[in-house]
Amino acid sequence: MRAIRVDPGRLRLVGWGLGGLAAGAAAGICAVFVASAVAAGRSAATDEDAARIVDAGHLPPLLRLPGERVTLRFNVFCPAPGDDPFDGTPCDAGGDVFVRARRSGPFRQLPLRETDDVAHGRYVVDVPADLAASPEGFSYYAVLRNQATGASITVPSGGAAAPQLSLPLEHAVEVELGTHAFGSTRRADARVASAIWGTAPGEVGLLYGPSFGPIGPSAFDVAPNGEVTILDQANGRTERWRAGRVAAAVPVDVTGGIADMAVEADGSIDVLEPTGSGSAATPELRSFDPAGQLLSKTAIEDRTWSQLRRGADGLEVQQEPSEQWMPVRRGQAWLARAAQARAGHPGRTLASGRELVVFRTGVSEARVAEVAAGHVVRSWRITSAPPLGEIQLAEPFGNRVVLVVRPYTETQDEFLVLVLGDRGLERSFSVDSADWAETAPLARFRLAGSSLYQLGSTPSGMHVDRFDLEVNR
């Protein structure tokens, strides 16, 4: 039997090594614990953010028919009072509406009253008859508050400087669409762009999976000469199409989310990104030169946008919750958020300086008015048997107005193109919705010259079709 002899020096070495392992592990665990505690502390500190959450929902009655009772309705979204701000009860909210006849003069302060009607807006105020009856309409803004915390929001955000405007329609031209025959769509006069999904030059990116998307090119624009530019945000580029072929692909620094786009006369590209990067940040308008070099980034005033358009004197964005069009650039000057808010107005500015105000109301009615200096110059009231979805496009077309609306049922939808004249509906035709892949919400149509262009898609790719409006079919 042999005795095992252990070298005391080695034993000491192993002991020191094991001690080092234990000490290192302990130090690491302590460091991670401290870092986690700091992070948790930061997270706990931001729990207080619940107190500052206040947001609003409001559908402004932009265009009213004679005799319609005017009740302004608001929802106020903020945490519940008490120990548990997310226990499912509504917040303790309130506020005031400031209203006046016409667009000038002193406002009358009216307190909101609470109702049980969250469907249309829990907080309401009836506009006094003398103000509602003004032939030049009335203007208003609301200051909505979380009574428990004092947090508040003003809608529209320009407040007294740019109140919302509600105009009477005294002599609207009535257009009754009746029932809609789904399936009787007009064929395009030309397919001016077409690409399969992919990443290679000449292809267009698609975001799609079993439980995701499909999201295709999110916007496009058409120059007066018919040149089409497609925002291929998934591939971080724009593609210019001329005579049915890709003429140029221009890389642009975009986030890849669903964005809107406008191309200016000098070829500059403006991309309106979907969201800001924090509660204090609002969506960003990125402007690029024709070669894709970033020129500027401008935050819009409100948290949400609906559409970006070239206006008579620059770019305008329809923003929410203000539900106003706000200029983001005037001439060569980009506007700060407060300046945008101060210039908000209900309709899109036209080249003539007039505004085109659009109001989809009820389930199946659309109202459109051309407005000059706060007065309705001419207007249309369109009613339909099937429900109407969004108004995709409203554009002047000579002395007429082109409107693209979307009749739908639970299982069908199509776009309906209406050419409105002073006497009513001059022409209409249906267009296949061709909406397999999602785009920006109101970016499926553009009017250029006398042609209407549609951005469409199928499982195999995307396309842009042209419909010539002067052609009778």
Partner 1 sequence: MSLLRPRVAFLAAFAVALSLVAAKAALATFVSANCNYNAATWSPNMYRDGSVTVALVARYEGYHWGGGCWNDNDVDQGPNEPLQTYSTGGEGGDCSGLTFKVWRESLNTSDGGHYQWGRLRNVHGPYAAADFKAGAGVPNATYPKADAIVMDAFASNTHIGMVYQRLTSGADQIVEAKCEACGTNIFTRTYRSDSSYGGVRRMGWTG
The tokens describing 239, both together, are: 């593609």
Helices (H) and strands (E) in the chain, counts: 3, 38
Among 94, 256, 290, 449, interactor with partner 1 by CB under 8 A: 256
Distance CA 225, CA 269 (A): 17
Distance CA 287, CA 253 (A): 10
The yes or no reply on residue 150 touching partner 1 (CB under 8 A) is: no
Determine the interface stretch with partner 1 among 111-119, 167-175, 184-192, 372-380 (rule: CB under 8 A): 111-119
Nearest residue to 152 (alpha-carbon basis) of 139, 142, 162: 142
Nearest residue to 157 (alpha-carbon basis) of 235, 260, 54, 248: 54
Closer residue to partner 1, CB minimum distance, 305 or 334: 305
Among 104, 211, 225, 472, interactor with partner 1 by CB under 8 A: 211
Contact 140, 73 (CB under 8 A): no
Among 37, 66, 87, 312, interactor with partner 1 by CB under 8 A: 87
Relative to beta strand 461-468, strand 93-101 is unpaired
The yes or no reply on residue 17 touching partner 1 (CB under 8 A) is: yes
The yes or no reply on residue 371 touching partner 1 (CB under 8 A) is: no
Residues 374-393 that bind partner 1 (CB under 8 A): 387-391
The yes or no reply on residue 32 touching partner 1 (CB under 8 A) is: yes
Contact 16, 9 (CB under 8 A): no
Q: State whether residue 16 is helix, strand or coil.
A: helix
Among 100, 122, 378, 463, interactor with partner 1 by CB under 8 A: 122
Among 409, 450, 458, 460, interactor with partner 1 by CB under 8 A: 409
User: Within 13 Å of residue 11, how many CA atoms lie on the same side as its CB?
Assistant: 4
CB atoms within 10 A of CB 242: 15
412 vs 137, 175, 182, 299, 435, CA distance in Å? 38, 22, 7, 37, 12
Determine the interface stretch with partner 1 among 238-246, 251-259, 376-384, 462-470 (rule: CB under 8 A): 251-259
CB of 357 to partner 1, least distance (A): 8
Among 94, 128, 226, 257, interactor with partner 1 by CB under 8 A: 257
The yes or no reply on residue 95 touching partner 1 (CB under 8 A) is: no
The yes or no reply on residue 401 touching partner 1 (CB under 8 A) is: no
CB of 426 to partner 1, least distance (A): 22
Among 140, 241, 288, 359, interactor with partner 1 by CB under 8 A: 359
CB of 146 to partner 1, least distance (A): 10
Distance CA 63, CA 84 (A): 41
The tokens describing 258, both together, are: 């669903």
Contact 101, 134 (CB under 8 A): yes
Residues 46-65 that bind partner 1 (CB under 8 A): 46-47, 49-50, 53, 55, 57-60, 62
Closer residue to partner 1, CB minimum distance, 378 or 444: 444
CB of 368 to partner 1, least distance (A): 11
Question: What phi and psi values does residue 161 have, to the nearest 5 degrees?
Answer: -75, -25
Closer residue to partner 1, CB minimum distance, 67 or 88: 88
Closer residue to partner 1, CB minimum distance, 116 or 266: 116
What's the CA angle centered on 229, arms 212 and 209, to 5 degrees?
A: 10
Residues 290-349 that bind partner 1 (CB under 8 A): 303-307, 318, 320-321, 323
CB of 116 to partner 1, least distance (A): 6
The yes or no reply on residue 402 touching partner 1 (CB under 8 A) is: no
Determine the interface stretch with partner 1 among 100-108, 192-200, 221-229, 252-260 (rule: CB under 8 A): 252-260
Closer residue to partner 1, CB minimum distance, 226 or 276: 276
What's the CA angle centered on 299, arms 293 and 305, to 5 degrees?
A: 105
Among 183, 212, 266, 472, interactor with partner 1 by CB under 8 A: 212
The yes or no reply on residue 275 touching partner 1 (CB under 8 A) is: yes
Contact 39, 46 (CB under 8 A): no
Nearest residue to 257 (alpha-carbon basis) of 282, 231, 227: 231
Among 64, 70, 72, 91, interactor with partner 1 by CB under 8 A: 91
What's the CA angle centered on 38, arms 32 and 40, to 5 degrees?
A: 100
Contact 284, 273 (CB under 8 A): yes
Among 408, 445, 453, 467, interactor with partner 1 by CB under 8 A: 408
The yes or no reply on residue 169 touching partner 1 (CB under 8 A) is: no
CB atoms within 10 A of CB 32: 10
The yes or no reply on residue 183 touching partner 1 (CB under 8 A) is: no
